[in-house]
């Protein structure tokens, strides 16, 4: 088994050759030969470069594919480069504006998270992912809009301005007056409460047999709360956008690996388990290839950054999934900036 090295163990010549091999590979996706490196300004002959590349291969930092005389970084080499040599490039003003423009403040938080993920996917040419915080909306107002004799549209307005609609089946003979009475009662009694708190308050009202409402209006209030309470567990907790980026021209050479990655993206629970690991810290986390068991077959990398809610606690994670041949120096700061933008939105 090849040994591994730290940056401090490499001399200047080895460090320069290693950096150029990695940067060229990340740019082209192709193994890099000694002749290519010799044309990039190093005062070394191709033969000397080949010797250095051989040394780096023995250290487990480079590998030589069977079909090429060139070298490419191993996952260990990529980790060494990302942790010790990479110079991150801040997002450009255009990239910052694109990320900020995609995050609309007035609307359901899931829409803002989805838009941010789609923008991040487009800019990084990876699949964008975001873990949505599990949260109960604080209620401000309820309404019922009749659709026909047996159905109404139940409308919930949250304190944050979000509006959600659900079609509610009605008992036979419910009058528009009962709908209006139930909506006024719910808005007055349950404004400022979460769904769970509103359900508990209504149960107490009914148990105490208070008669502020007639029976049909009480039934409507119970139905109106239940339709959201039952739906809460089905709220999306993971949004994935831009899977098509994983099927670009470079993926065509390895369709099996691309297929495995797309299958892994369908197994959202496993990805959620991975992202929950990023919830624990305050910094961006980078998983390269087989460093994470989930993506060991497809050889994919994950960059994930936590974002925070109004109280400063980490509530979710945003990031990208793509091939190990990522432009880490560009994508990592982009993911960081998206997380910071989402944190400002959540305040």
**Secondary structure element (H or E) that encloses residue 98, with its range:** helix 93-102
Instruction: Report yes or no: 303 and 320 within 8 Å, Cβ to Cβ.
Output: yes
Residue 213 has what pLDDT? 58
Question: For 314-323, what is the mean pLDDT?
Answer: 88
Alpha-carbon span 119 to 125, nearest angstrom: 10
Higher-pLDDT residue of 171 and 259 is 171
Instruction: State the CB neighbour count (10 A cutoff) for residue 87.
Output: 6
Question: What is the tens place of the pLDDT at every residue in 183-196?
Answer: 898 898 888 888 77
Instruction: Report yes or no: 179 and 144 within 8 Å, Cβ to Cβ.
Output: yes
pTM check: above 0.75: no
Question: What is the tens place of the pLDDT at every residue in 16-45?
Answer: 999 999 999 998 888 999 989 998 888 888
Instruction: Report yes or no: 135 and 110 within 8 Å, Cβ to Cβ.
Output: no
Which two structure tokens, joined as six digits, stand for 290? Answer: 């087989």
Phi-psi category of 343—alpha, beta or left, where left has phi over 0 and alpha has psi -120 to 50?
A: alpha
Sorting pLDDT into bands at 50, 70 and 90, what band is 248? low
Higher-pLDDT residue of 193 and 281 is 193
CA-nearest of 313, 342, 134, 85 to 233 is 134
124 Cβ partners below 8 Å, 6+ apart?
245, 320, 322, 326, 330, 331, 334, 335
Question: What is the tens place of the pLDDT at every residue in 90-143?
Answer: 999 999 999 988 776 666 677 888 888 999 999 998 889 998 876 667 888 988
Which two structure tokens, joined as six digits, stand for 219? Answer: 């039934």
Among the residue ranges 56-60, 115-119, 299-303, the one predicted with the least confidence is 299-303
If you average pLDDT over every residue of the chain, what do you get? 82
């Amino acid at each position: 088994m090849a040994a591994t090295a730290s940056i401090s163990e490499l001399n200047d010549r080895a460090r320069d050759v290693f950096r150029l091999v990695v940067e060229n590979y990340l740019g082209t996706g192709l193994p890099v030969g000694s002749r290519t490196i010799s044309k990039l300004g190093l005062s070394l002959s191709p033969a000397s470069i080949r010797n250095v590349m051989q040394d780096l291969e023995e250290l487990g930092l480079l590998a030589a594919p069977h079909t090429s005389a060139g070298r490419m970084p191993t996952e260990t080499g990529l980790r060494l480069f990302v942790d010790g040599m990479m110079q991150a490039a801040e997002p450009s003003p255009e990239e910052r504006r694109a990320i900020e423009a995609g995050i609309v403040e007035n609307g359901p938080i899931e829409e803002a998270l989805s838009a941010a993920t789609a923008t991040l996917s487009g800019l990084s040419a990876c699949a964008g992912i975001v873990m949505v915080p599990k949260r109960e909306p604080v209620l401000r107002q309820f309404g019922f809009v009749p659709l026909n004799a047996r159905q109404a549209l139940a409308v919930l307005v949250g304190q944050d301005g979000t509006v959600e609609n659900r079609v509610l089946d009605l008992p036979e003979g419910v009058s528009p007056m009962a709908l209006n009475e139930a909506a006024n009662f719910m808005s007055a009694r349950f404004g400022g409460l979460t769904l769970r708190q509103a359900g508990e308050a209504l149960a107490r009202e009914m148990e105490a047999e208070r008669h502020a409402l007639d029976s049909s209006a009480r039934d409507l209030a119970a139905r109106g709360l239940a339709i959201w309470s039952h739906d809460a567990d089905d709220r999306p907790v993971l949004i994935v956008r831009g899977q098509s980026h994983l099927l670009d021209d470079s993926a065509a050479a390895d369709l099996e690996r691309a297929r495995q990655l797309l299958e892994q993206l369908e197994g959202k629970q496993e990805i959620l388990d991975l992202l929950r690991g990023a919830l624990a810290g305050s910094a961006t986390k980078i998983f390269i290839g087989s460093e994470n068991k989930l993506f060991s077959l497809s050889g994919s990398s994950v960059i994930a950054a936590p974002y925070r809610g109004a109280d400063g606690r980490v509530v979710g994670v945003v990031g990208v999934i793509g091939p190990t041949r990522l432009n880490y120096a560009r994508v990592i700061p982009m993911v960081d900036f998206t997380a910071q933008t989402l944190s400002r939105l959540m305040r």
